[in-house]
Amino acid sequence: MKAILVSKWCTNGNVMQYLRAHPNSNRTDLVVGMANGLHHLHSRKPQIIHGDLKPDNVLISDEGAAQLCDFGMSRVMNELSRVAQTTSTPLGYTIRYSSYEVIVEEKKTEFSDVYAFGCTSIQK
């Protein structure tokens, strides 16, 4: 049985589309929303690693709130798999938003998610 995640349709599109259409939006609120979503994933037991955080994977709700999406590369971590976690394919990431350990070591961790968060947060 395969799990399927369904989310509400976000007419505002992703964060880059939203900012082009609403250039005076409160970017701090959007970044805080992304951080809260990432914190929520990382604080779960077992921990959830997004694995491909980037502007395309941050949708904006009808209320203007940032929402993380596209969990196709996500991994649920536990103490046994934490050290050996690797991507399933060499192209299972977006280079522009990927840290050293993702590109070279093919390991996705909470730290690689935080790196991707930083890269996503500084987009113009």
pLDDT tens profile 22-53: 999 999 999 999 999 999 999 999 999 999 99
Tokens of 22: 């609403």
- The confidence band for 79, taking pLDDT boundaries of 50, 70 and 90, is very low
Q: Which of 69, 58, 1 is nearest to 31 (CA)?
A: 58
Average pLDDT value for the chain: 84
Is residue 29 among the annotated active site residues? no
Residue 9 lies in a domain: no
Q: Name the band, by pLDDT with cuts 50, 70 and 90, for residue 73.
A: low
Can you name the residues that pair with 49 across neighbouring β-strands? 75
Domain assignment present for 78: yes
- 108 belongs to a structural domain: yes
How many contiguous H segments (helices) and E segments (strands) does the chain have? 4, 4
Q: Indicate the residue type of 3.
A: A
* Amino acid identity, position 36: N
What is the count of structural domains for the chain? 1
**pLDDT for residue 124 is more than 90:** no
pTM of the model: 0.81
Looking at the domain assignment, is residue 29 inside a domain? yes
Q: Could you say which of 29, 52, 56, 62 is catalytic?
A: 52
First to last CA, the chain: 41
Q: How far apart are CA 29 and CA 64, in angstroms?
A: 9
Residue 76 lies in a domain: yes
Is residue 105 situated within a structural domain? yes
Domain ranges, residue 23: 15-121
CATH number reported for the structural domain that contains residue 82 in this entry = 1.10.510.10
Does some domain include residue 114? yes
Q: Is residue 6 part of a domain?
A: no
Residue 57 banded pLDDT, cuts 50, 70, 90? very high
Quote the tokens at residue 69: 């999406």
Is residue 22 classed as helix, strand or coil in its secondary structure? coil
